[in-house]
Structure 1
Amino acid sequence: MDAKWKLLLLIAFALSLMLIMHHSQIKKNLEKMNFCWDQEPGEPQLSDWFNPKKRPDVITTTNWLAPVIWEGTYDRSVLEKYYKRLNITVGLAIICVPGKFSNQSFTEFVHSANKHFMFGYNVVIYILLDSFSTLPPIVLGPLRTFKLFLMVKSDIGEDFYFTYMMNLFNYIITHIQYEVNFLFIMNANQIFKDDFGVETLGKSVAQLSAWWYFKDGDTFPYERRRKSAAFIPFEEGDFYYHSAIFGGTVEEVLNLIRECQKGALQDIENQLSSTYEHHLNKYLFIKKPTKLLSPEYNWDPSFRTPPQIKCVKIAWQSKNV
C-alpha cells in the first residue's frame, strides 16, 4: 500500500512539475509577445493625421470632439502605415431595395466599389438577396471577394430595411464578425467617384446627409411624434444622418442594428410606422458617432454643388430612389 501511495505521489509531483514548467514557458512567450507589441508603433493620434484648421469653411469637429472628414483635413498616408501593418479586412454589406435598383445600378456600384473602396486592403462584399437568380455577373480585383446570403422574409412590419437589418444582424453573428475588422453598410443606389479610404475607419462612423447639412436644424426630418421610439424634439438633435452609409467596428454595428430593431418593434407594437433612417438618427443622437463623414462622401449630383464640396467621393443616384 505504501508503495502505491509513493508511486501516486511521484506521478502527482511529476505532473505538477510539468504544469509549472509549461506555465513558465507560456509566461515567457507572452512576455516576448508583449515586448514585441510594445516595440511596434500604436494607433496614430488624431492630431497625427487630422488637421481641422485646413478647412475653416466647414464644421470639422463636433461639440463632442469627433472629427468630420472633409477633403484636405486628413493625411491618409499616416493611417496607411498603421492599417497596412495590421493587415485588416473591411466588410461592405450592400442594401439592394427591391424595385428601387436595377441590375445596371447594382453592377455600377460594385464596379466602382471594386475600384475605390479600401483600395489595397482585404475586402469582403456581402450581398443579401431574396433570390440569387437575377444576380448579374460580379468581377472583382485582387484582395476582394464577395459572399451571397439569402434573405429570410419577415412577417413583422412592411419596411424592407427592417427585414434587411434583421437578416444582416443574424449573418453578422454567425459569419461576418469572424471575417472582418470593420464593416460598412451601404445602399446600392450610389456610385464611388473617388477613393473611400482608411480615413473613414472608426469605432462608429456616420454619414452626414447632403440634403440637410446646409439647412437649419429645426427643419431636419426627424421623427417628431412623441409616442415613437425614434422621437427627437424640435429643440434637440445634432446633425441629420443618411442611412445610405454607416459603419464601424463589428461590435458597434451590431449595437446600432440591435437598438434600431428594438425601436422599430416598439413602434409596431404601438401601431406606429417610422423609417429605419429615423431610428438610426435617434440612436446616433443618443450614442454619438466617433467619426462623421462629410457630405463629400455621399453627394447628390442633382444639387448645385457648393464651394464647400471639394471632392465627391460617392455620388447618390436620386433617380433610382
Structure 2
Amino acid sequence: MKHLINTKALTVVVLSALMLGVLFCYILLSYRGVELFKQNNINQQNGLAADDVIPVSHEFHLVAPDHLRYEQPSILRGRTDVVTVTPWLAPVVWEGTFNQVLLDSIYKPKNITVSATVFAVGKYIMFLKDFLETAEQHFFVGFKVHIYVFTDRPNEAPQVRMAAGRQLTVRSVPSSKRWQEISARRMELIQTLIEEQLPNRSDDYVFCLDVDSKFHGRWGAESLDGLVAVIHPGYYKDGRSRFPYERRPASRAYLAPGEGDFYYCGGAFGGLLQEVHHLAKTCRSNFEADAQEGIEAAWQEESHLNRYMWINKPTKVLSPEYLWQDFKPQNPEVHIIRFSGVVKNYAEIRPNARESAAD
C-alpha cells in the first residue's frame, strides 16, 4: 500500500512538472509574439518592413603582429576639443584618435578587398580623373581596392595607372534630364552591384563616394567598420533643428522635430557589404514607395540615408575630415582634410540646375 501511494505521489509530481513546463513555454512564446508584434509596429511607424531590421553587426577579431612597436596609448591624454565617441558608443574618427601603423598591421594581413562606387553621369565625368588619381595616392594604399565607375559616357573615362592589387571597372548607365533622378538611382545601382558583382565575403567592405571630390590625405583602415557614416561639414556645429532633414510626415524619409543624431553626408558612406546592401535596399524601397505616392524627399537619397541612420545607428562615424568642402576655410578642430568636394558651378554641370533654382 505504501509503495502504491509513493507511485501515485510521484505521478502527480511528474504531471504537475509537465503542466508547469507547458505553461511556461506558452507564456514565453506569447511574450515573444507580443514583443515581435510591438517591433513590427515600430518598424511600420518608422517606415520599415518587418524584415528590414538590420542584421547583427559583424564581430571583429583584431590581431596585431607580435613585437610590433608603436607609441604607448593613453586614456588620460588625447583630443579634448572634439567628441570622439557617440552616445551609443560608436567611435568618431578624428586625426589624433588612432595609430595608423597599428591599424594597418592589423588589417592588411586580413587580405580584405575594399570596393568603392562612384557616379560620373553627364558632365560629372570631368571630375573623374582627379578622383581616381588622388585615390591612388591616399585611399586604402597597400590594400586590394576595386573602384566601380557608373557613367553614361564610358568612352570618356580616363586611363589612370593603378598600383598592383587595385583595379577599375566602368559600368554604363543611362543618362537623365534631372540630377535628382541621378541622385536617387544610386541606391538601386549600389544594391544591384553588391548582389550581382561583389563576392559574397563577410569581411569585405564597400564605400560609396561622390565623384566631384578629391583626396588630400590618408583614408584607410581607421574607417573600417560595420556601418560607417560621415558627418556633413556644413552642419556639424549646428543643432538638429537646423538639419535639412525631410520634414513632411508623408515621406518615408521623415524625421520629426527632436529626432536625429547628426546630419550625415550622402556623398560618403560605407561599411561591410551586407550592411551597405541592407542600407541601399531599404533606402531604395522607401524612395520608390514615396515616388508612387508623388513624393520626392528634400535631398533624395541623402534624406533617406539620414532616416535610415537614425534607426540603424552607424557603428563608426567619420568626422568632417572625410568629406570637407573646398569653399570652406579649414576650421581649427579639423587638423587634416582627407577628402573634399571641389568648387564647382552647379548651373553648368547639373542638367536641370537652372530650372531647379527657378523653382
2:326 pairs with 1:301: yes
Q: CA deviation at 1:282?
A: 0.3
Matches within 5 A, 1:159-170: 159-170=181-192
1:14-53 counterparts in 2 under 5 A?
Answer: 42-43=61-62
2:247 and 2:256 in contact (8 A); partners too: yes
Gapped regions of structure 1 (runs ≥ 5): 1-40
Alpha-carbon distance between aligned partners in 1 of 2:74 and 2:175, rounded to the nearest angstrom? 43
Q: 2:103 aligns with which of 76, 79, 89?
A: 79
Task: Confirm whether residue 264 of structure 1 aligns to residue 283 of structure 2.
Answer: no
Q: 228, 236, 239: which one pairs with 1:213?
A: 236
- SS of equivalent to 1:267: helix
Residue 129 of structure 1 corresponds to which residue in structure 2?
A: 151
| Residues 175-186 of structure 1 mapped to structure 2, 5 A cutoff | 175-178=197-200, 181-186=204-209
TM-score after normalising by structure 1: 0.80
Q: Is the 8 A contact 2:322 2:337 kept in 1?
A: yes
Which residue among 292, 312, 317 is the counterpart of 2:337?
312
Structure 2 unmatched ranges of 5 or more: 1-59, 65-71, 347-359
Alignment check: 8 A CA contact 1:130 1:151 kept:
yes
Written as runs of structure 1 = structure 2, the 5 A alignment for 1:1-321 is 42-43=61-62, 54-99=78-123, 101-103=124-126, 105-151=127-173, 159-178=181-200, 181-274=204-297, 275-319=300-344, 321=346
CA contact (8 A) 1:152 1:167 kept: no
- Paired with 1:108 and 1:271, the residues of 2 have a C-alpha distance of 37
> 1:8 aligns to what?
none
Indicate conservation of the 8 Å contact 2:176/2:182, yes or no. Answer: no
When residues 85 and 78 of structure 1 are mapped into structure 2, their CA distance, relative to the original with a 3 A threshold, is same
Name the aligned partner's letter for residue 294 of structure 1.
S
Give the CA RMSD over aligned residues.
2.6
Q: Deviations over 1:202-231 (max 9, x none)?
A: 100001000000112110000000100000
Distance apart, 1:261 and its partner CA: 0.5
Distance in 2, Cα, partners of 1:224 & 1:77: 44
Distance 1:292 1:114, change over 3 A: same
Please identify, of 146-155 and 194-203, the stretch whose mean Cα deviation from structure 2 is larger: 146-155
* Superposition TM-score, scaled by structure 2 size: 0.72
User: Matched residues in 1 for 2:344 and 2:253: separation?
Assistant: 27
Which deviations, in whole Å up to 9, do the C-alpha atoms of 1:278-303 show, x marking residues without a partner? 00000001100000110011111311
- Residue 44 of structure 1 contacts residue 79 of structure 1 at CA under 8 Å; is this kept in 2? no
Runs of 4+ in 1 over 4 A off after TM superposition: 48-53, 152-155
- Report the alpha carbon displacement of residue 154 of structure 1 after superposing the two structures with TM: 9.2
Distance 1:158 1:236, change over 3 A: closer
Post-superposition offset of 1:56: 1.1
- SS of 1:71's partner is coil
The amino acid that maps onto 2:137 is: K
Report the equivalent of 1:20: none
User: What whole-Å deviation, never above 9, does each CA across 1:19-58 have from its counterpart, x for those lacking one?
Assistant: xxxxxxxxxxxxxxxxxxxxxx93169xx98969511111
Match in the other structure for 1:14: none
Question: Identity of aligned pairs, percent?
Answer: 31
Residues 118-168 of structure 1, C-alpha deviation per residue, up to 9 Å, x if partnerless? 00111111111223122222221222111122225799x962122232123
Q: Secondary structure at the match of 1:133?
A: helix
Change (3 A) 1:81 1:171: same
Q: Distance in 1 between matches of 2:324 and 2:338?
A: 8
Q: For 1:43, give the aligned amino acid.
A: L
The CA deviation at 1:173 is 0.6
- Matched residue count: 277
